[in-house]
């Protein structure tokens, strides 16, 4: 990186300048929210959840359809022993629900159109996603 490029990177008014020497680096506008592979990584702290909707005081419900996304409140917080009800807009055939990780109480839901109620008996972070649509992701943070 030459001196001019270095100085340019210091100026906040042109912060959009790519300061990396790596021409293949990922653009800053790309997020992991639509990356199904990212959603499948693990059930630990969730990269695509910036905020968790606090549902610790009420029964949590999620409308399970195309609009499910972190920016629409698909990252929620509940307490140990609470339930989350996934209410399909159409059916689980249209949007197969996958809970990430062998320790996830969400499991898999690939049939039917009735609400699917999941109880969370232990604390942790539990990601979920649609098996068809990469943009449909969310997570449940379970606290003591």
Site residues (CB under 5 A) for Cu ion?
95, 130, 132-133, 136
Q: How far is the CB of 93 from Cu ion (least distance, A)?
A: 10
Pick between residue 35 and residue 56 the one whose CB is nearest to Cu ion. Answer: 35
Segment holding 9, helix H or strand E: helix 3-10
Q: How far is the CB of 88 from Cu ion (least distance, A)?
A: 10
Pick between residue 15 and residue 132 the one whose CB is nearest to Cu ion. Answer: 132
Pick between residue 40 and residue 133 the one whose CB is nearest to Cu ion. Answer: 133
Q: Rounded distance, CA 84 to CA 27, Å?
A: 35
Pick between residue 19 and residue 132 the one whose CB is nearest to Cu ion. Answer: 132
Q: Please list the helix, strand and coil fractions of the chain in percent, rounded to the nearest 5, in that order.
A: 15, 30, 55
Backbone φ and ψ of 138, nearest 5°? -175, -175
Pick between residue 46 and residue 98 the one whose CB is nearest to Cu ion. Answer: 98
3-state secondary structure 92-142: CCCCCEEECCCCCCCCEECCCCCCEEEECCCCEEEEEEECCCCCCEEEEEE
Q: How far is the CB of 94 from Cu ion (least distance, A)?
A: 6
Q: How far is the CB of 81 from Cu ion (least distance, A)?
A: 29
Q: How far is the CB of 38 from Cu ion (least distance, A)?
A: 16
Q: The tokens of 45 are what?
A: 């702290």
Q: Supply angle C-alpha 132, 88, 118, rounded to 5.
A: 95
């Amino acid at each position: 990186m030459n001196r001019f490029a270095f100085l340019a990177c210091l100026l906040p008014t042109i912060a959009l300048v790519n300061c990396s020497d790596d021409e293949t680096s990922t653009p800053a506008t790309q997020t992991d929210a639509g990356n199904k592979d990212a959603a499948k990584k693990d059930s630990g702290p969730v990269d695509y959840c910036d905020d968790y909707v606090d549902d610790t005081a009420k029964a949590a419900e999620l409308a399970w359809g195309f609009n499910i996304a972190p920016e629409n409140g698909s990252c929620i917080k509940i307490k140990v022993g609470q339930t989350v009800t996934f209410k399909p807009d159409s059916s689980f055939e249209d949007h197969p629900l996958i809970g990430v990780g062998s320790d996830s109480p969400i499991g898999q839901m690939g049939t039917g159109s009735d609400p699917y109620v999941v109880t969370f008996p232990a604390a942790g972070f539990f990601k979920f996603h649609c098996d068809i649509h990469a943009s449909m992701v969310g997570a449940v943070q379970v606290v003591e």
